[in-house]
Chains A and B, each alone.
Chain A
Amino acid sequence: MASEKASASSVPNPFVLTPYVIEKRSAETADTTTLVMAPVKGGQIPAFKPGQFNMVYSHGVGEAAISVSGDPKKRDKLIHTIRAVGKITNSLTSLEPGSVVGIRGPYGVSWPMEEMKHHDVVIVGGGLGLAPLRPAIYELINNRSQYERIEIMYGARSPKDIVYNDEIQSWRARQDWRFQVTVDAAGREWYGDVGVVTTRIPDARFDPKNSVALVCGPDIMMKFVIQSLQGRGIPDDRIYVSLERNMKCAVGFCGHCQYGPIFVCRDGPVFKYSDIKSFMFVKEV
């Protein structure tokens, strides 16, 4: 079982930016914004696979690697959800509709959607880690009959830190999977679960011998999620993680995102855990 790789050569020129106009922006949380964009010249956005990312350029400020978070079947709009954590992302999230950004991509290895077919699917996301998982969730919806049981578990710091809140409500209402949400702490207005996302895993309904797990969130969260999934019996080669590192060129030339023996942009960002476990949680790689 291997993740799906799109080589740099599938992009005409990996360093040429395409102008996109921001059509809509919506605040997900206090520091996270979703931008809906379309090519300035019109037409469809390039095909992308769940888990892939684009380099998004804010004019005069710089580029940041951002996962695509829209539905791969809907090629009319490009959707990115961005947390403002630095100069570039602060700039991107402050742009108003009508502003133009530069896009190049998509790049990187995707979630193993083909290999997941006819298996139970376990998805664990934390915080903004739901953004790279969202296209995979759309794909599961688009092709529901091709997958067995689906368990999705999402954790956030507090109710106000939950991204895609309205959409999650509709996802939770679906009868053909289980979508659980839990937060670390909440006030009395919250009637949902409280506790870290790992607390949902022991009771999740899946057959460890026939399951594929997708995990995305901060490294520390993934570490404990992986331990819980291992505890349930999912082998390391069927646990996939998406890593976030400082990517610059996006095609494996510059080395900014080198992580041990790999380049996250070229060899990832989605990895089979068995391929990176020897160095993933090592303090100094």
Chain B
Amino acid sequence: MSGKISKGLSATIAEHPFMHGLDAKFIQLVSNKATQRNYERGDMLFKEGETADKFFLVLAGKIALELAPPEKDRLTIETIGEGEVVGWSWMVAPYRWTFDARALKNTQVIAMDAELLRKALEDDPKNGYDFLLRLLPVIGNRLENTRLQLMDVYGV
């Protein structure tokens, strides 16, 4: 599943829509322990309760975020595709995933090291702030989308 750091990984990270335009040195720094990973349909990226030690940039494919309510069928609550990112549990203690992530088709991601990323954000507040300004709309949009799902907008 994991691949070694390719020569152009830093460049690939820099081109990802989420990272594009961030400071080049910052990108170089946070790319250090990043790996490119390929998942086949059905593979799990992570499971609820596991340590959230990665931040995923999706290069291609589709990922389902799933919940497994007790004694109920597993439920997909959102899908994430090319150009998007997965997860922010790595930013907030206790750093545990709060849902499962599963590849719905062959999927390529870059897995960035969360510990390194957290340290970089702390050590470099300016670029860290730029990074957070990109992550906050992702969180905000997903919160709003969840609200719409709760409103059951097609059932009215």
Interface residues of A (CB under 8 A from B): 126-127, 129, 155-157, 161, 182, 184-188, 190-196, 198-199, 203, 217-221, 224
Contact = CB atoms under 8 A, between A and B. Distances in A.
Given A198-B145, A224-B148, A218 B156 contact: yes
Contact of B79 (A188, A194, A203, A220): A194
Contacts of A187: 73-76
A228 to B, nearest CB: 10
A57 B103 CA distance: 49
B154 A161 contact: yes
Interface of B: 41, 62, 64, 66, 73-79, 81, 83, 104-105, 141, 145, 148-149, 151-156
A155 B151 CA distance: 14
B148 A198 contact: yes
Contacts of A190: 76
A187 B76 CA distance: 6
Nearest to B17: A203
B153 A185 contact: no
A161 B154 CA distance: 9
- The secondary-structure label for the interface of chain A is mixed
B153 A194 contact: no
Contact of B154 (A155, A186, A194, A199): A155
29 contacts: A126-B153, A156-B154, A161-B154, A184-B152, A185-B77, A186-B75, A187-B73, A187-B75, A187-B76, A188-B73, A191-B105, A194-B64, A194-B76, A194-B77, A194-B79, A195-B79, A196-B145, A196-B148, A196-B149, A196-B153, A199-B145, A217-B154, A218-B153, A218-B154, A219-B156, A220-B156, A221-B154, A224-B148, A224-B153
Given A194-B78, A195-B149, A221-B154, 14 more contacts: A129-B154, A157-B152, A185-B75, A187-B74, A187-B75, A188-B74, A191-B41, A195-B78, A195-B79, A196-B149, A199-B141, A217-B153, A218-B156, A221-B148
Contact of B151 (A156, A217, A220): A220
Contacts of A221: 148, 153-154, 156
A218 to B, nearest CB: 4
Contacts of B149: 184-185, 195-196
A188 B145 CA distance: 20
Contacts of B78: 194-195
Contacts of A127: 154-155
A154 to B, nearest CB: 10
B145 A195 contact: yes
A188 B76 contact: yes
B108 to A, nearest CB: 17
